[in-house]
Chain A
């Protein structure tokens, strides 16, 4: 525990973070590429066909990881928001900001792939179902936060308000996740559940796991690289201000 905390403390120092993020993001990027080739290759050519949905179910290998990432990135951004609110570290501020564009892209990807799946399965691209509507709301929240984040030229001035807004928006995440339980939705239940209530062939589950890891690592690589450049930008701006 002590080692974990001290390494966290070290990482909150901007020069260390810049150095570590450069190395880790490159490593994550290459691993994501390898996993994507393996996972999506298997999903395309070897994964079994679903007995009910046929071939169209294969969209799930992109749709489910993208939907998970859209929620996970928002939750992590909120966690960094809380850390920033308490400790006011530069690293927490840039991490919180760096997650917003990638999270918005993942939400959009989940919505578009969901629509592509909806047409042949439900007969329509879109319904105002609780899951779909709350996910669309998440996209609007991301866009709103990104617009707010870029409103002022000196970004550091709006860090605390942005952190607060992100944390307030967190209320939408359980709504998305539990919408299929709370309400009668057209959207199906969880694809994977800890309780084992979701039944899925092991081969499909493993392929989905590899695809999810690939997308997770690609997102992490992009977020770390963006946060690193944001931090470097802030350092340069403060140097210019001193001059």
Chain B
């Protein structure tokens, strides 16, 4: 059942992607705030 490992890997990838996206969202907010402060 290699499919089980494949499925687990896809899940792991999805989890890291979602975590990365939430971190990027924070980074975006920081950039927006910085731009607002400089303007």
Contacts and interface: CB of A to CB of B under 8 A. Distances in A.
A62 B19 contact: no
Contacts of A43: 5
A201 to B, nearest CB: 16
A165 interface: no
A236 B29 CA distance: 11
Interface stretch (A104-112, A122-130, A192-200): A104-112
A84 interface: no
A109 B11 contact: yes
Interface string B22-34: 1100110110011
Contacts of A222: 16, 19-20, 23
B39 interface: no
Interface of A is mostly: helix
Interface in B1-39: 1-2, 4-9, 11-12, 15-16, 18-20, 22-23, 26-27, 29-30, 33-34, 37
Given A236-B30, A236-B37, A105 B19 contact: yes
B19 A101 contact: yes
A58 B30 contact: no
Interface string A32-75: 00000000100110000000001110110111001000000000
A59 B16 contact: no
Given A56-B1, A229-B27, 11 more contacts: A44-B2, A62-B5, A62-B9, A102-B19, A105-B15, A222-B19, A222-B23, A229-B30, A230-B26, A232-B34, A243-B37
Interface of B: 1-2, 4-9, 11-12, 15-16, 18-20, 22-23, 26-27, 29-30, 33-34, 37
Interface of A: 40, 43-44, 54-56, 58-59, 61-63, 66, 101-102, 105-106, 108-109, 112-113, 116-117, 120, 215, 218, 222, 225-226, 229-230, 232-233, 236-237, 239-240, 243
